[in-house]
């Protein structure tokens, strides 16, 4: 008979996974508790970091994977789980949370990506690092708007520039005649 505490925990993990469609499995070998708490604090409102036993996470995947095709594909790539595992649950705009974790893991060498499921696609650790290095959606939108606005600004400057030169020349001529 399974322990009721473990069954409840597996249910809570299933609930978390159903609420967060984007998640990454993370390795955290020998990371001090203070560093993990600092990571949780920096991820606030962007992602959730949960340490979990490999066996319980596997049971949660088995339970949820029955009706979920992307999760079944993910299970084939990710299982069996080895080493210590934590679950990085990302919000809908996953790029911010992924970037924060990547920058933190870059400083703290004991943290690294294992594998992940983002937008119903399974990714390896190298592919997740590549995704984490990409600019966020907000940065891309700002860059796009800036480039769209740029030709208009250059056109206005080009049209204004000859008039400014003419005004400057007339001003010099009028002051020279006085």
Query: 3-state DSSP call for residue 114?
Result: strand
Quick: pLDDT tens for 57-84: 888 888 877 777 777 787 778 788 888 8
Q: Tokens 């596997």: give the residue.
A: 58
Per-residue tokens: 90? 């990302």
d(CA 107, CA 96): 17
Least confident range of 15-19, 34-38, 87-91: 15-19
Reported as a pLDDT band with limits 50, 70 and 90, residue 157 is low
At residue 155, the pLDDT reads 67
Structure confidence at residue 1 as a pLDDT band (50, 70, 90): very low
- HSE at residue 20, side-chain half, CA atoms within 13 A, is 24
pLDDT greater than 70 at residue 85:
yes
- Is pLDDT of 176 > 50? yes
Contact 13, 60 (CB under 8 A): yes
- The answer to whether the Cα torsion of 99, 101, 107, 113 is positive or negative is negative
Averaged pLDDT score across all residues of the chain: 82
Rounded to an integer, the average pLDDT of 140-156 is 75
The highest-confidence range among 30-44, 141-155, 163-177, by mean pLDDT, is: 30-44
Report which DSSP code applies to 136. Answer: P
Q: Which residues contact 108 (CB under 8 A, 6 or more apart)?
A: 31, 35, 39
The Cα 124–Cα 160 span in angstroms is 53
Name the residue with higher pLDDT: 53 or 155: 53
H or E stretch covering 47: strand 47-52
Name the percent of the chain lying above pLDDT 70: 90
Lowest mean pLDDT among 61-75, 84-98, 118-132: 61-75
Question: Cα–Cα distances in Å, from 60 out to 118, 136, 154?
Answer: 18, 30, 57
Paired with 122 in beta bridges are 117
């Amino acid at each position: 008979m399974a322990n009721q505490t473990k069954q409840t925990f597996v249910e809570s993990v299933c609930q978390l996974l159903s609420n967060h469609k984007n998640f990454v499995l993370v390795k955290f070998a020998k990371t001090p508790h203070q560093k993990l708490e600092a990571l949780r604090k920096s991820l606030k409102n962007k992602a959730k970091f949960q340490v979990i036993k490999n066996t319980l996470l596997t049971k949660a995947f088995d339970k949820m994977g029955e009706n979920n095709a992307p999760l079944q594909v993910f299970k084939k790539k990710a299982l069996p789980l080895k080493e210590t595992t934590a679950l990085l649950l990302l919000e809908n705009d996953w790029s911010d949370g992924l970037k924060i974790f990547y920058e933190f893991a870059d400083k703290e060498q004991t943290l690294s990506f294992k594998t992940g499921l983002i937008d119903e696609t399974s990714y390896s650790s190298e592919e997740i690092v590549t995704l984490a290095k990409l600019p966020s959606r907000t940065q891309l939108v700002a860059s796009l708007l800036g480039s769209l606005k740029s030709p208009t600004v250059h056109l206005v400057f080009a049209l204004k520039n000859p008039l400014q030169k003419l005004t400057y020349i007339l001003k010099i001529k009028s002051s020279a005649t006085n």
